[in-house]
Structure 1
Amino acid sequence: MASSEAQYESDDGMDELMDKFKTQRYKNAFSENSWEEELNKIPMFMKAAPEEIDPKEYPELACLQAIIHDEDRPPEEQAKGLKDEGNVYFKEKNYQKAIVSYTAGLKKKCGDQELNTVLLTNRAAAHFHLGNMRSALNDAAAAKKIKPDHLKALIRGVQCCMELRIFAEAIQWCDEGLKSHPTDKKLLELRAAADKHKRAAERDARKAKAKEKKLQGEKEALLAAIKDRGIKLLQPAKPRKHGSDIEGEDEGASAAISQLSLDGLSSQEVTGAQVFLDEQGSLQWPVLFLYPEHQQSDFISAFCENNCFIDHLSVMFGEELPPWDSDRKYHPQNLQLYFEDEQKETLYQLNPETSLLKVLQHKRFFVKGGTPSFIVLVKDSSFWKQFLTGKKIQRL
């Protein structure tokens, strides 16, 4: 029963709707007398296009014609449309698309130089906001070439030069602009800023040059001091060419030492320290002590050439011994020092009372990597006997 009532209500509503169609007219329908004429105005149903298109009478067709025949418009009109399109993208901060639009406008090669100047200046602004300073400067220069007094192009050119840190060119742009716009506040401000930065850059360049000259003088003095003392620096090994082997140990050593240069003082890269001349004219060397028994080492960043080895050993192994010396045997009186001549496979034992300079001047001592290194052993220990077994030993 309920189902029949629902069907009745539905049918009743449909009848009411159909009655409205009979009594009320559809507002947007074609008229009965001219429907064919009206249908023919819709591009999809046209049998033939009219000879003259009135946008008011044929709005849809006029729109399609504009899209299809855009290239038929004058280049100036097309370029202006692309400029306006680019400006919309620019306001939306979509600088990449703005550049595409401005570039398309320039490709129209219209004869309106004012419009071309604006397109170039606007594209320069878009490049500027993207950080493409060199491209922005090129566009500003092109715009200035067309119209030398174009204020926006001049200002943009100055800003690009400032960002590129070519301050002399920035001043030149300002001076050119101020000829046409002598009271322009922005140009005056930019020129003052460019001049300030230029003087600061020149001052920094002078300081850097003076510092470089001072460092070069210090390097030359350092190398001269090393050379005067007869100290030999072992240069980094270089691959030998085929057939260039030098016969004889002494000749090989001299080839490795070759010409004295800072290449043999490269310890700074590894240890952070390098030999230097102090105010008294003495060489201060970075020195490495090696303890092979415990695979440990000590690094002295500034060992004066006039100091003896015992001076440092007494400090390093004084009242407090290192934690790795579990047997508590590394006392200054128990220690022996050696340097190794790798070429002759010989260990040279040196007296702890000897100065560093005397050891460095030994004919078989070569400073490797800018850092003299020495082996420290405990006399009469089991490791001492084992380490020296089979090795050639010489005393200084």
Structure 2
Amino acid sequence: MKEQPTTAQQKQPMSQTEIPETADAMAKLTTAETPGTDDDAVARHDDAEATKPELPAIKKQTFEDIMADLNKSPLFMTEMEENDDIAALQALSYEGTPLENGVDFKARGNECFKVRGYVDAREFYTKGIQILAREERARAGGETTKSPDGVDGADGPGEEVASQRAVLEALLVNRAACHLELGNFRSCWTDCAAALRLNPANVKACYRSARALLAVGRVDEADAVCARGLALDAGNAALRQTAREVAARARELGDRSRREAERRAVRARREQLLRAALKARNIATRTTTKGQPPPEMGGAKLELVPDPDDPRSSLAFPALLLYPEDLESDFIRAFDERQTLGDHLSYVLPLPWDRRGAYTLAGVSCYVETADGGVLKLGKRVPLLKVLGTGKVEVVDGLLRIYVLPNDRAAGWVETFKRAKKAELAARQGG
């Protein structure tokens, strides 16, 4: 009985002479299983790569650019361009002749229109228009369009061509009716104009065009279209009613225009009287909002009172009482030229926020800015006209600004104000 080898003997590593022999055996096995050499495999790979179609270089594109490129392909189109080639491709998807397809879409549109499905009806009419308009453009461009009766559409109208134009005219007028119901007034009269080019005697096109023009206030054009339609059919009840509405609207717009013209004339006359009154009193004014509306003052404005149309009336100024030491203000809607500052301070003072009691009629000094950047003290018992009539004080943007300060702070504020104005003037001149 032979002795079995021990575990240690089974796990004994191969000798150095056995390793090369094993490697040679593996190499032979690999060669036997894989026909050809490594060089042959590389050559085959290169040949395969050479036969691959070359792909265009990838450009850096935004999402919008990619979608725009896709939309150029009929497979991915979401919006159809006005293009004869695309229209031709579209026509191929329908069975029958262009005339038959146009009639079919007209019938479908009419069914939708009867149940007030104006959007769907418009879409059906549009499909029919696209098919027949493409035929019309082809004939206008000199292309040959063969009809079932064998007549060449480019050389003569023929029965088929005449029928196509009649259906196209009806489709345009019907789509105009949809636009009118949907409030697309411009599209309505555009379709009507196209229908009238095909048939100048289409009364429906005149009627619907007039309704659309009237809806947007283009009364003169609506009146002209009504007159054209009534010249074709004087007894048309719908057109006669529309003509009456146009006439009423014209009278209304005429009255409105006259009233507006009268208002402009009154405004211009009052402005002229106001300028004359200011000049006669030697009151200087300045506007800083040229080309822009004046500051909003709740309806208050520089004007003649009590009658703005009477040159003998007095001037009244909106006035702003500014308290620069406390960053507060009060607004006086009408400061009459005959009044004094004391007349207004008597009801403005005391101030609700003045806890120190610094603002009293006897304890405040008041100033107005002069045209040269200085300040002029305003007496409490002096009529406003006497101060403004010196010509030294400017009324800026129709608003009189009066600075009110406690007596103990007035001198310091005046010096600070003058320095600030001087620096501002220097900066303006330097710029």
Output the TM-score relative to the length of structure 1: 0.66
Q: Is residue 362 of structure 2 the alignment partner of residue 333 of structure 1?
A: yes
Deviation at 1:298, TM superposition (A): 1.2
Within the candidate set 153, 176, 191, 2:228 is matched to 176
Letter in structure 2 aligned against 1:213:
A
The verdict on how the C-alpha distance between 1:294 and 1:119 changes in structure 2, with shifts beyond 3 A counting, is same
8 Å CA contact retained: 1:265, 1:369: no
Q: Is residue 315 of structure 2 the alignment partner of residue 283 of structure 1?
A: yes
Q: Deviations over 1:17-51 (max 9, x none)?
A: xxxxxxxxxxxxxxxxxxxxxxxxxxxxxxxxxxx
Within the candidate set 170, 173, 178, 1:118 is matched to 170
Q: Deviations over 1:105-157 (max 9, x none)?
A: 43232432321220110121222233221221122123234334433222211
The verdict on how the C-alpha distance between 1:123 and 1:343 changes in structure 2, with shifts beyond 3 A counting, is same
**Aligned equivalents of 2:332, 2:210: Cα separation in 1:** 54
**Aligned equivalents of 1:351, 1:89: Cα separation in 2:** 82
The verdict on how the C-alpha distance between 1:388 and 1:157 changes in structure 2, with shifts beyond 3 A counting, is closer
Q: Is residue 368 of structure 2 the alignment partner of residue 368 of structure 1?
A: no
Deviation at 1:195, TM superposition (A): 0.9
2:333 aligned residue: 301
8 Å CA contact retained: 1:267, 1:273: no
1:94 aligned residue: 119
Deviation at 1:206, TM superposition (A): 0.9
Q: Which range moved further: 190-199 or 69-78? A: 69-78
1:150 aligned residue: 202
8 Å CA contact retained: 2:98, 2:132: no
**Aligned equivalents of 1:93, 1:177: Cα separation in 2:** 25
**Aligned equivalents of 1:71, 1:139: Cα separation in 2:** 24
Q: Is residue 380 of structure 2 the alignment partner of residue 356 of structure 1?
A: no
Deviation at 1:334, TM superposition (A): 2.3
Q: Is residue 321 of structure 2 the alignment partner of residue 269 of structure 1?
A: no
**Aligned equivalents of 2:372, 2:279: Cα separation in 1:** 22
Q: Is residue 132 of structure 2 the alignment partner of residue 106 of structure 1?
A: yes
Within the candidate set 139, 161, 168, 2:191 is matched to 139
**Aligned equivalents of 2:179, 2:294: Cα separation in 1:** 47
The verdict on how the C-alpha distance between 1:235 and 1:273 changes in structure 2, with shifts beyond 3 A counting, is same
Q: Deviations over 1:78-112 (max 9, x none)?
A: 32233334445545332552353143143232432
8 Å CA contact retained: 1:167, 1:198: yes
The verdict on how the C-alpha distance between 1:166 and 1:391 changes in structure 2, with shifts beyond 3 A counting, is closer
8 Å CA contact retained: 1:290, 1:373: yes
8 Å CA contact retained: 1:167, 1:194: yes
**Aligned equivalents of 1:367, 1:100: Cα separation in 2:** 64
Q: Which range moved further: 198-207 or 166-175? A: 166-175
**Aligned equivalents of 1:368, 1:73: Cα separation in 2:** 79
**Aligned equivalents of 1:373, 1:218: Cα separation in 2:** 24
8 Å CA contact retained: 2:173, 2:191: yes
Q: Is residue 268 of structure 2 the alignment partner of residue 216 of structure 1?
A: yes
Q: Deviations over 1:180-200 (max 9, x none)?
A: 333332222211111111111
2:353 aligned residue: 324
**Aligned equivalents of 1:369, 1:168: Cα separation in 2:** 41
- For this pair of structures, how many residues does the alignment match? 296
SS of 1:104's partner is helix
Letter in structure 2 aligned against 1:273:
A
**Aligned equivalents of 1:282, 1:339: Cα separation in 2:** 21
Taking the TM superposition and a 5 Å limit, the aligned residue runs for 1:32-71 are none
8 Å CA contact retained: 1:235, 1:264: no
Taking the TM superposition and a 5 Å limit, the aligned residue runs for 1:8-23 are none
Q: Deviations over 1:307-333 (max 9, x none)?
A: 11111112222xxx3211213343322
**Aligned equivalents of 1:184, 1:361: Cα separation in 2:** 72
The verdict on how the C-alpha distance between 1:292 and 1:78 changes in structure 2, with shifts beyond 3 A counting, is same
The verdict on how the C-alpha distance between 1:333 and 1:121 changes in structure 2, with shifts beyond 3 A counting, is same
2:286 aligned residue: 234
Deviation at 1:68, TM superposition (A): 9.7
SS of 1:373's partner is strand
Letter in structure 2 aligned against 1:101:
K
**Aligned equivalents of 1:221, 1:362: Cα separation in 2:** 21
The runs of 5 or more residues in structure 1 that have no matched partner are: 1-66, 238-262
**Aligned equivalents of 1:332, 1:271: Cα separation in 2:** 27
Deviation at 1:167, TM superposition (A): 2.0
8 Å CA contact retained: 1:124, 1:135: yes
Paired-residue identity, %: 28
1:24 aligned residue: none
The verdict on how the C-alpha distance between 1:114 and 1:203 changes in structure 2, with shifts beyond 3 A counting, is same
